[in-house]
Amino acid sequence: MAAGHRLPTDTDDGLLLIISGPSGAGKTTITRGVERSIPDSVFSVSWTTRPRSPVDVEGVDYHFVTDEDFEQMKALDGFLETAGLYGKKYGTPRAWVVEQLVRGRLVILEIDVEGAKQIKSHLPEAYSIFIMPPSEETLLQRLRSRKREDEASIQKRYSAAQKEIAEGKRCGVYDLFITNENIDDSIRKAVDAVNAERARRRR
């Protein structure tokens, strides 16, 4: 991104917060907990070409779009970052995020490591948290207890999760790692870290 397009996170109170972690670590619950706990926070609703599951709400969890819509948006440089996961496309809408940051809000992106790397490479001032499961056994148990998928898909997610953790640790993009032993503690740790970071930047 050219210098002229830098987002005003250094001078305003706006902060871009990235939350990543493997599926089964409790990332979505923590993300929504942070959103509830910080009054001026907003959750960035990604675009995706994956099919909507019965628990997903259009416009709340994702904007569910066709491949054609996604590619058109991409051609117009409409995404801040994109990623391909499980053969489907995901992207963060640029204009909405920029608008919220300009208003000084805390903008939360729940995205994968590939997306986080793209964001950090042109917006190093983004603050990023990686949610870790307490152990590999717990991760596998949690993936199973969701009862969303058959065992083969669970094993696929488990192996993808292990890769995501390894890459999250290796890539040097994350400012904070939280091991999610207990949801309420993890939300508190994330909220405290974000509030401290914003206070530090205000000084």
All residues at 6 or more sequence positions from 146 whose CB lies less than 8 Å from its CB, including other chains: 24
**Shortest approach of ligand 5GP to residue 200 CB, angstroms?**
26
Which lies closer to ligand 5GP via its Cβ, residue 98 or residue 201? Answer: 98
CA 32 to the chain's CA centroid = 11
Which lies closer to ligand 5GP via its Cβ, residue 14 or residue 91? Answer: 91
Which lies closer to ligand 5GP via its Cβ, residue 14 or residue 21? Answer: 21
**Shortest approach of ligand 5GP to residue 31 CB, angstroms?**
9
CA 151 to the chain's CA centroid = 26
List of residues contacting ligand 5GP (CB under 6 A): 23, 46, 50, 81, 83, 85, 90-92, 110-112, 114-115
Q: Residue with CB nearest ligand 5GP?
A: 115
Q: What angle do CA 53, 132, 87 make, to 5 degrees?
A: 40
Query: Residue 198's closest CA among 46, 20, 39, 43?
Result: 39
Query: Residue 94's closest CA among 11, 7, 3?
Result: 7
Which lies closer to ligand 5GP via its Cβ, residue 14 or residue 115? Answer: 115
**Shortest approach of ligand 5GP to residue 34 CB, angstroms?**
14
